[in-house]
Chains A and B, each alone.
Chain A
Amino acid sequence: MAAKPRVKVPKKASAGYIITIKTLVTHKMESGQRKDKEGNVIPRKIINKFTCEFNGNVVFTCDIDPAVSANPYLEFSAKVMESGTFKFIWLDDDGTTIETTKDIEVS
């Protein structure tokens, strides 16, 4: 069982306002640098890319390396001009994704 990703987006904002978005997701971020008890390297398995879209347009993306801490935290901004939906996608080394959305009402 894994916790859902946590995303913080204001519910409402005025048009043209720059909002702060915070995201936190559960992931070990296995760096590929660690060894197990037998001395074998534990294979790398990380979130390597993060994307934030608004109404289908890319707002912010991020290439992630193993030096980002476990349970990756990302905070960034977006300028909102209209109401709509933010979509957040975390891409795992194994090809799977974690996705979630958040709506915002812009007046």
Chain B
Amino acid sequence: MNINRRNMIRASVKMAVAGTLGLQASRVMASPEDTAKALAAFAGDATPTAGTITLTAPEIAENGNTVPISISVDSPMTEDSYVESVTILAEDNPNPEVVTFHFTPASGVARASTRMRLAKTQNVIAVAKMNDGSVFTDTRNVKVTIGGCGG
């Protein structure tokens, strides 16, 4: 991973975070600072690099109440080298934190799935932290369509 690419990714993470500013219509949303803070709390000083982790999420969620997501990290899972944890953040939810998975070498593979709530259309960010402190990230935009009919 060369420096240029790292910087680019750092910029794009910042942009993604800042992008919510323009949309901030309601006070129940997390602020971009909240997301940045949550990211820093998880990743420390490390700059997240794109790749290695894959986040799977629907392009369109029929209802923001139940959005299936999965993560998978391409990494060995040995005592020497393994994925410690993966956190999921949702930029435009009331609070950005969603869930943090903690793996061990006994996990065999760093894969996990759950279902989450999304207040509106937004970016979902997955961040993986390896036992050597390196950090990787992936982002998906999920469009939330909330049906207004039929109760």
Q: Is the CB of A79 within 8 A of B77?
A: yes
Of the residues B65, B109, B115, contact of A73 by C-beta under 8 Å: B115
**B34 CB-CB contact with A under 8 Å:** no
**A31 CB-CB contact with B under 8 Å:** yes
Q: Is the CB of A75 within 8 A of B108?
A: no
| Known contacts A63-B99, A67-B98, A78 near B115 by CB under 8 Å | no
Interface residues on A, range: 20 to 34
Stretch of B1-9, B14-22, B88-96 that contacts chain A: B88-96
Interface residues on B, range: 20 to 34
**B113 CB-CB contact with A under 8 Å:** yes
A65-84: contact bitstring with B at CB < 8 Å (1 yes, 0 no)? 11111101111111100000
Q: Is the CB of A68 within 8 A of B113?
A: no
Q: Is the CB of A75 within 8 A of B116?
A: no
Q: Is the CB of B115 within 8 A of A72?
A: yes
Q: Is the CB of A58 within 8 A of B114?
A: no
Of the residues B90, B94, B95, B101, contact of A62 by C-beta under 8 Å: B101
**B37 CB-CB contact with A under 8 Å:** no
- A-B contacts counted at CB < 8 A amount to 94
Chain A residues within 8 Å of B101, by CB: 60-62, 76
Q: Is the CB of B102 within 8 A of A61?
A: yes
**A54 CB-CB contact with B under 8 Å:** yes
Chain A contact residues: helix, strand, loop or mixed? strand
Chain A residues within 8 Å of B65, by CB: 69-70
Q: Is the CB of A67 within 8 A of B106?
A: no
Q: How far is the CB of A88 from chain B (nearest CB, A)?
A: 14
| Known contacts A67-B117, A68-B114, A69-B66, A62 near B109 by CB under 8 Å | no
Of the A-B pairs whose beta carbons lie under 8 Å apart in the complex, a sample of 14, sorted by A's number, is A18-B108, A61-B102, A62-B101, A63-B99, A65-B98, A67-B93, A68-B114, A70-B66, A72-B114, A75-B111, A75-B114, A76-B101, A76-B107, A76-B113
